[in-house]
Amino acid sequence: MKKEDTRRFEAQSQIIKALAHPTRLFIAEELGKGERCVCELTGMIGADTSTVSKHLFIMKNAGIIECEKRGTNMYYTLKMKCVLSFFSCVNQVLQKKAAEQLQFV
Protein backbone atom coordinates (compact mmCIF):
# COMPACT_ATOMS: atom_id res chain seq x y z
CA MET A 1 0.00 0.00 0.00
CA LYS A 2 1.39 3.40 -0.98
CA LYS A 3 2.09 6.01 1.66
CA GLU A 4 -0.49 8.36 0.20
CA ASP A 5 -3.13 5.62 0.31
CA THR A 6 -2.26 4.94 3.93
CA ARG A 7 -2.85 8.60 4.74
CA ARG A 8 -6.15 8.54 2.89
CA PHE A 9 -7.36 5.48 4.78
CA GLU A 10 -6.26 7.00 8.06
CA ALA A 11 -8.19 10.17 7.36
CA GLN A 12 -11.25 8.16 6.37
CA SER A 13 -11.06 5.94 9.40
CA GLN A 14 -10.88 8.95 11.69
CA ILE A 15 -14.29 10.02 10.42
CA ILE A 16 -15.78 6.57 10.70
CA LYS A 17 -14.33 6.20 14.21
CA ALA A 18 -16.14 9.38 15.14
CA LEU A 19 -19.38 7.47 14.54
CA ALA A 20 -18.26 4.13 15.94
CA HIS A 21 -19.70 4.47 19.42
CA PRO A 22 -23.25 3.91 20.66
CA THR A 23 -23.49 7.36 22.21
CA ARG A 24 -22.18 9.07 19.11
CA LEU A 25 -24.59 7.18 16.89
CA PHE A 26 -27.39 8.37 19.11
CA ILE A 27 -26.11 11.92 18.84
CA ALA A 28 -25.92 11.70 15.04
CA GLU A 29 -29.46 10.39 14.84
CA GLU A 30 -30.75 12.97 17.28
CA LEU A 31 -29.03 15.89 15.58
CA GLY A 32 -30.47 14.58 12.34
CA LYS A 33 -33.82 15.74 13.73
CA GLY A 34 -32.58 19.22 14.59
CA GLU A 35 -30.18 21.19 16.73
CA ARG A 36 -29.71 20.26 20.36
CA CYS A 37 -27.77 21.81 23.21
CA VAL A 38 -25.38 19.78 25.34
CA CYS A 39 -27.72 19.69 28.29
CA GLU A 40 -30.54 18.27 26.18
CA LEU A 41 -28.31 15.51 24.86
CA THR A 42 -26.89 14.84 28.32
CA GLY A 43 -30.40 14.42 29.67
CA MET A 44 -31.30 11.92 26.98
CA ILE A 45 -28.06 9.97 27.15
CA GLY A 46 -27.77 9.79 30.92
CA ALA A 47 -24.00 10.21 31.15
CA ASP A 48 -21.82 12.85 32.73
CA THR A 49 -21.89 16.20 30.93
CA SER A 50 -18.15 16.06 30.42
CA THR A 51 -18.47 12.67 28.77
CA VAL A 52 -21.06 13.96 26.33
CA SER A 53 -19.02 17.07 25.68
CA LYS A 54 -16.06 14.93 24.74
CA HIS A 55 -18.11 12.82 22.37
CA LEU A 56 -19.30 16.01 20.71
CA PHE A 57 -15.73 17.23 20.43
CA ILE A 58 -14.71 14.05 18.62
CA MET A 59 -17.56 14.40 16.14
CA LYS A 60 -16.93 18.09 15.60
CA ASN A 61 -13.26 17.48 15.13
CA ALA A 62 -14.07 14.89 12.48
CA GLY A 63 -16.17 17.46 10.62
CA ILE A 64 -19.47 15.70 11.13
CA ILE A 65 -21.19 18.25 13.34
CA GLU A 66 -20.81 21.94 14.07
CA CYS A 67 -21.83 24.17 16.92
CA GLU A 68 -22.96 27.65 17.77
CA LYS A 69 -23.04 29.30 21.14
CA ARG A 70 -26.13 31.21 22.17
CA GLY A 71 -26.17 32.51 25.70
CA THR A 72 -24.66 29.95 28.00
CA ASN A 73 -25.79 27.11 25.76
CA MET A 74 -23.88 25.44 22.99
CA TYR A 75 -26.10 24.22 20.21
CA TYR A 76 -24.88 21.42 18.01
CA THR A 77 -26.15 20.61 14.53
CA LEU A 78 -25.48 17.82 12.07
CA LYS A 79 -23.23 19.28 9.41
CA MET A 80 -22.89 16.22 7.19
CA LYS A 81 -26.38 14.82 6.79
CA CYS A 82 -25.01 12.10 4.56
CA VAL A 83 -23.82 10.17 7.60
CA LEU A 84 -27.45 9.32 8.24
CA SER A 85 -27.23 7.16 5.13
CA PHE A 86 -24.87 4.89 7.05
CA PHE A 87 -27.77 3.73 9.13
CA SER A 88 -29.65 2.16 6.28
CA CYS A 89 -26.71 -0.02 5.32
CA VAL A 90 -25.88 -0.87 8.91
CA ASN A 91 -29.44 -1.93 9.49
CA GLN A 92 -29.33 -4.09 6.39
CA VAL A 93 -26.31 -5.85 7.85
CA LEU A 94 -28.11 -6.35 11.16
CA GLN A 95 -31.18 -7.71 9.44
CA LYS A 96 -29.15 -10.15 7.41
CA LYS A 97 -27.35 -11.31 10.54
CA ALA A 98 -30.67 -11.78 12.33
CA ALA A 99 -32.08 -13.74 9.41
CA GLU A 100 -29.05 -16.01 9.37
CA GLN A 101 -29.32 -16.60 13.09
CA LEU A 102 -32.85 -17.84 12.62
CA GLN A 103 -31.71 -20.52 10.21
CA PHE A 104 -29.88 -22.28 13.01
CA VAL A 105 -32.86 -22.55 15.35
Partner DNA sequence: CATGATTTTGGTTATATTACCAAATAGCCA
Partner DNA sequence: TGGCTATTTGGTAATATAACCAAAATCATG
Q: Point out which residues bind a second copy (CB under 8 A).
A: 1, 5-6, 9-13, 15-17, 19-26, 44-46, 62-64, 79-80, 82-83, 85-94, 96-97, 100
**In 1-105, alpha helices (H):** 3-17, 22-33, 38-45, 49-62, 84-103
The binding track of 45-84 with respect to DNA, each residue x by CB under 7 A or -, is --xxxxx-xxxxxx--------x-x-xxxxx---------
68 makes contact, choosing from DNA, a second copy, none, with CB < 5 to 8 Å by partner type, with none
CA 50, 57, 18: angle at the middle one, nearest 5? 115
